[in-house]
Structure 1
């Protein structure tokens, strides 16, 4: 009896050592994880279903579906967002676009160099945009998939653009 209990305990510990991101994702919210890595919780919407974090920092965040929110400008999240998470940054972001001058541009990197500065840097491919960290204090509500990036509904045609 004691031998089988010891076997199962060791097996569980071994499994958790192989898959630490599964243990982390079930015990820590994504917003708490962002804070622990020097990033504001409001970078991701409230409605995150789950996430995984591998040992090498690869983060995958799963939402209920694509959604739209607004910080300074409108931001569109795909159903899955991927990035490399390290202290103070999300690098190689995939699945996040930001509206700039009527164009939707991919966000590639999000960096907080100095939290005391109150500034967060968004690399949107063609420019580096500095925003106030205060915009990202709380996780935003995100409008679901039914709201497209350009808000044009096919059944309304040109009228929707007015």
Structure 2
């Protein structure tokens, strides 16, 4: 006959294991960005979920809805943001636009060549904008897109403003 304390001991260890397994938070997309040499503040706090394929570098980030945030300029995050993530860069970005002098331009790439420089580069097609890395330390709060300005990255002209 098996003593009663042995099954109870197994149940106790199983309970403790499950508690610690579930209480450990899964890595966030912000943790992934840091691990890849990019600042966490490139994406808003309101990220609902994300998928990352380590083999091909495809990163897909999901928000509940498009939203606006402000770094140095206003940026619009679509409800799905896609990019190829490698160390220090996001390339082929889709779903992120930046306002430049009242024109919304798609962000095509984001690069941190040398973290010690304190500079991050945004490729907005015609121009490479330099920003201070300090602007992107913390994930920004994102406000729902207001109906007055709407950008569509799928616009044939590459950018557009609709009122």
Residue 52 (structure 1) aligns with: 51
Residue 86 (structure 1) aligns with: 86
Q: TM-score, normalised by structure 1?
A: 0.75
Aligned counterparts of 2:64 and 2:71: Cα–Cα separation in 1: 20
Paired residue secondary structure (1:27): coil
User: Contact 1:68/1:149 (CA < 8 Å) preserved in 2?
Assistant: no
Deviation for aligned residue 1:148: 3.8
Q: 1:148 to 1:88 in 2, by over 3 A?
A: farther
Per-residue CA deviation, residues 25-54 of structure 1 (Å, 9 max, x unaligned), is x82100000000000000000010100011
Aligned counterparts of 1:52 and 1:137: Cα–Cα separation in 2: 22
The answer on 1:74 being equivalent to 2:74 is: yes
User: Contact 1:89/1:109 (CA < 8 Å) preserved in 2?
Assistant: yes
Q: 1:73 to 1:118 in 2, by over 3 A?
A: same
Q: TM-score, normalised by structure 2?
A: 0.74
Deviation for aligned residue 1:64: 1.1
Aligned counterparts of 2:89 and 2:137: Cα–Cα separation in 1: 16
The structure number with the bigger radius of gyration is 2
User: Contact 1:106/1:125 (CA < 8 Å) preserved in 2?
Assistant: yes
Aligned length: 126
User: Contact 1:108/1:122 (CA < 8 Å) preserved in 2?
Assistant: yes
Q: 1:80 to 1:60 in 2, by over 3 A?
A: same
Misfit runs of 4+, over 4 Å: none
User: Contact 1:76/1:149 (CA < 8 Å) preserved in 2?
Assistant: no
**Runs of at least 5 residues in structure 2 that lack an aligned partner in the other structure:** 1-24, 151-162
Looking at secondary structure, tell me which structure has more helix per residue. Answer: 1
Deviation for aligned residue 1:149: 6.4
Paired residue secondary structure (2:144): coil
Per-residue CA deviation, residues 72-101 of structure 1 (Å, 9 max, x unaligned), is 000000000000000000000000000001
Residue 137 (structure 2) aligns with: 137
